[in-house]
Amino acid sequence: MVKTKKKLESISVDWGRETTPDEAKKLLRARAHSLSRELETKKTDEKFLEILDFTLAYETYAIETAYIREIYPLKSFTPLPCTPQFVLGLVNVRGQILPVIDIKKFFNLPEKGLTELNKIIILKKDSMEFGILADLILGVCSLPIGKIQSPSGMMSVVNEKYLKGVTDERIVILDAEKLLSDTEIVVNEEVEI
């Protein structure tokens, strides 16, 4: 077996001049040092809203992530008799039974039908917790609050009281706090037997 020693090959500089191995080491150390410095971040006073984008009836909607407990795949659900049409049913999420609202029906949006892509966005605030059905989850992003336009005067089938605003990209941001505190969503009826 023949052992060969690897030589440090000289490195070309921008002007085509060859550097010596010592110069190459110094150059590499200087580059490593400059890359290892902490990046200087520009401090701005602009506030951001972190939102989850999803689709409903071929339109893009979003909801603030501060109110989202988790996203869960719609595997199966149990329909509930004697409930409004917008109540899809109950789901078992790791032993916890949660109601699921089909907000397309709640907002009178066109129906698309259920597919394996449907997800449940579980919303939570204090003791109120339920899931809303989404056709497809698109992702999470941070949006500058200054980019959110007022929903007033917006031509939408969604009632303005449930809207936080709309973006330049026509993403409708739902107001999760209003959804979680709305008495129209809570079904609290007792049936006599």
CATH number, domain of 174, equals 2.40.50.180
Is residue 120 within 8 A of residue 144, CB to CB? The reply is: no
Q: Residue 80 has what DSSP assignment?
A: -
| C-alpha span between 85 and 51 (Å, rounded) | 27
Residues 26 and 114 grouped into a single domain: no
Task: Return the ∠ at Cα 101 (arms to 97 and 131), rounded to 5°.
Answer: 50
Residues 84 and 140 grouped into a single domain: yes
Tokens of 31: 């580059």
- Answer yes or no: is pLDDT of 148 > 50: yes
| C-alpha span between 25 and 80 (Å, rounded) | 72
- Answer yes or no: is pLDDT of 133 > 80: yes
CA distances from 113 to 1, 33, 85, 105 (A): 70, 57, 14, 11
Q: What is the pLDDT of residue 183?
A: 80
Residue 188 maps to a domain: no
Domain containing 96 equals 48-181
- Answer yes or no: is pLDDT of 52 > 50: yes
- Specify which of 17-26, 28-37, 133-142, 150-159 reaches the highest per-range mean pLDDT: 133-142
Residues 58 and 16 grouped into a single domain: no
- Answer yes or no: is pLDDT of 6 > 50: no
What integer best gives the mean pLDDT of the chain? Answer: 81
Residues 172 and 138 grouped into a single domain: yes
- Answer yes or no: is pLDDT of 161 > 80: yes
| Top-confidence residue, 24 or 177 | 177
| Top-confidence residue, 191 or 183 | 183
Q: What is the pLDDT of residue 151?
A: 74
